[in-house]
Amino acid sequence: MRLTVLVVDDEPLARTGLRLLLEQDRDVGTTIEAASGREAVLLIRDRRPEVDNMFPRCVTQDGNLTAQRQLWSVFTPTGGVWRGIAHVPNGNLRLRDSWAHVDARRHFAIDLQTLWDGAPSLLTQQCVCGDIISGLKSPRDCRLFGRECVPDMPVGACMVSSEGTCRIWHEYGVGNRPASFARSAAS
């Protein structure tokens, strides 16, 4: 019997990549995709895939220890500015000295202080991403939201990432739905 496999990920490209890999496996008959946990639960109920989540095999309560060992063999913590929030001691990572040969900062002698002197730009100064990430404000508190800052021309990180609060509000937020969405919801 060939297996039915359910692939769950909110990134379409990640799903497609995994589906193409699975389709090369002779034991896999059907690959179905879900973009969210809810969709996955419905598909599990209706289609009954045979492949289970194997994450617990490699990820424990303490995280993925193998990945952590690899991470700390390459990086070491250092203090740094989290834009819009604060200077966070040990909040950033830098390459260890043993990886200096691939460290672009050292290779190109980049002076971060001079970069910070000219940053952020005037538009970016109005971004309140820091307060949004901290839970102090919502995207509608930003005067750039949906005007100067949109997914195609993002000003701040919250609009760049598909998981950013401003991006999600822009795409799905109440009163901000595209006309096509509003029409299909009404029908």
For 50, the token pair is: 């045979």
Q: Which of 105, 166, 176, 183 binds ligand SF4 (CB under 6 A)?
A: 166
CA dist 115 and 121 (Å) reads 11
**21 φ/ψ angles, rounded to the nearest 5 degrees:** -65, -45
Q: Which of 5, 40, 129, 133 binds ligand SF4 (CB under 6 A)?
A: 129
Question: In this chain, which residue has its C-beta nearest to ligand SF4?
Answer: 156
- In terms of CB distance, is 8 or 129 closer to ligand SF4? 129
Segment contacting ligand SF4 by CB under 6 A, of 65-73, 96-104, 114-122, 149-157: 149-157
Q: Which of 145, 161, 168, 182 binds ligand SF4 (CB under 6 A)?
A: 145
Is-contact 94 75, C-beta < 8 A?
yes
Decide: is 158 part of the binding site for ligand SF4 (CB under 6 A).
Answer: yes
CA dist 99 and 15 (Å) reads 33
Nearest by Cα to 30 from 16, 13, 47:
47
CB of 44 to ligand SF4, least distance (A): 35
For 31, the token pair is: 């690959």
CB of 54 to ligand SF4, least distance (A): 36
Number of helices and strands in the chain (H, E):
11, 4
Size, binding site for ligand SF4 by CB under 6 A: 14
Q: What is the CA radius of gyration of the chain?
A: 22
- In terms of CB distance, is 34 or 149 closer to ligand SF4? 149
- In terms of CB distance, is 40 or 132 closer to ligand SF4? 132
Decide: is 133 part of the binding site for ligand SF4 (CB under 6 A).
Answer: no
Is-contact 80 87, C-beta < 8 A?
yes
Helix (H, G, I), strand (E, B) or coil at 140: helix
Decide: is 128 part of the binding site for ligand SF4 (CB under 6 A).
Answer: yes
Interface residues with ligand SF4 (CB under 6 A)?
127-129, 132, 139, 142, 144-145, 149, 155-156, 158-159, 166
